[in-house]
Amino acid sequence: MMMMSTRRIVSSARTAVPAIRQQARAMSSPTDPEPNTEASLKFIHREDTYGAHNYHPLPVVLARGSGVFVWDVDGKRYYDFLSAYSAVNQGHCHPKIVKALIDQAENMTLTSRAFYNNKLGEFEQFMTQLFGYDKFLPMNTGVEAWETGVKLARRWGYDVKGIPENQAKVVFAENNFHGRTLAAISASTDPESYGGFGPFMPGFIKVPFGDLKALEEAVKDPTVAAYKCEPIQGEAGVIVPDEGYLREAQRICHENNCLFMADEVQTGCARTGKLLACDYEEVKPDVVVLGKALSGGVLPVSGVLANDEVMLTIKPGQHGSTFGGNPLSCAVGMAAMKVLVEENLAENANRMGKILRDRLTALDSPLITTVRGKGLLNAIVIKPHKGKTAWDVCMKLRDNGLLAKPTHDDIIRFAPPLVINKDQIEECADIIANTIKAFE
């Protein structure tokens, strides 16, 4: 019975190819080349038919990854210049991380926090010693850890600062991206994120990113518990604040008895050339949120770092997660962080990032108005030229063997795995240069 059902599916897929091609043309942007193989078309059609339409992916269907490379279903190889939004800093399928996953999966995957397990304490000790904090609270996704940080800020505000009940406020930077939950979009100023999803969380204040005067004015309010920002705004287009901003922001917060909190989900784990982006200014936030590359892209693993004064305001039963801190995630998280340290990936990101930015700056193209970034978190701003946009550039990069994705229409983010070497970064710079020149 199962075999007959499978045959029907295969037969249906074969006969549907012409219709799929027509649908792919209709769904693509006007300038999109259609996917050119039946295999790709079938995968895209299936996803568009049975999945929610909450993403607009570049039309390429990936099947395998190793290091800085990914391969599509037809075996074509590409350089990955997105790294799953900086989740695979250690490279795709790093053997040490995969081994940790397999070894632990053969023994124990999940206990819940109803019981102790033999991996959680080891992971917590490793993380606190690596980053220099008293406590580490593991979660799963980046936005879960971010919301945990917001809860900690409010609880600290009530228990330590003495803010009257239900009046605590948290300040955020405009143009941020912290996730897609209701709390995260309540902190957002991007209409595409929050539009049509109200009402929103109360007590969330927004100030311009980089504006110290606006921040100082906001935190003078005695009911403000914290200021929380990304050290570099990734989704906004790799917006790097002026040197000294983070240090001054922390000073202003502390002078007004507020917490300074850093969302390092994308910028952390060596992405910017330091273990944390805040390390550039020798700033130690009161709360640090981590995610993405905390697992090397193998599992959803995130977490929050803080000292006892903040972390111990939450008592048993007041916060938790069934999967947060599970043995599998702990083993993978430790392996992933050890790879970052043992392979000196922060130092490599710093060196390779400088090479890439130098090459991009030297292009002197009418298409590129700005080059910015730190480490291997970089972006170029594309000026529409002869009717071509950042999306068109990314489509041509795909054709030339490099995958990147536009953000906010005119920005292309370049963030390869941190294991990339000099020869590879030079080759990628050549691909980008040749692609840009083709549009001039």
What's the CA gap between 411 and 433, in Å, rounded?
16
- Helices 422-439 and 345-361, axial angle in degrees (round to 10): 30
Confirm whether 177 is a catalytic residue: yes
Q: Which amino acid does the sequence have at 125? A: Q
Q: Which amino acid does the sequence have at 403? A: L
| Cα 297–Cα 302–Cα 306 angle in degrees, nearest 5 | 145
Contact 275, 282 (CB under 8 A): no
- Catalytic site residue from 177, 209, 260, 323: 177
Q: Which residue has the tokens 């003495």?
A: 162
CB count in 10 Å sphere of residue 248: 16
Confirm whether 220 is a catalytic residue: no
Select from 347, 374, 371, 346 the least CA-distant residue to 359: 371
Q: Which two tokens stand for residue 409?
A: 């229409």
Q: Which residue has the tokens 């043992």?
A: 342
- Catalytic site residue from 263, 279, 392, 410: 263
Confirm whether 263 is a catalytic residue: yes
What's the CA gap between 85 and 93, in Å, rounded?
16
Contacts of residue 70, Cβ cutoff 8 Å, sequence gap at least 6: 62, 64, 77, 78, 80, 92, 403
Contact 346, 404 (CB under 8 A): no
Question: How many residues are present in the chain?
Answer: 440
Q: Which residue has the tokens 């102790």?
A: 116
Contact 201, 193 (CB under 8 A): no
Q: Which two tokens stand for residue 177?
A: 């991206």
- Catalytic site residue from 228, 292, 374, 396: 292
Which positions are catalytic? Answer: 177, 263, 292
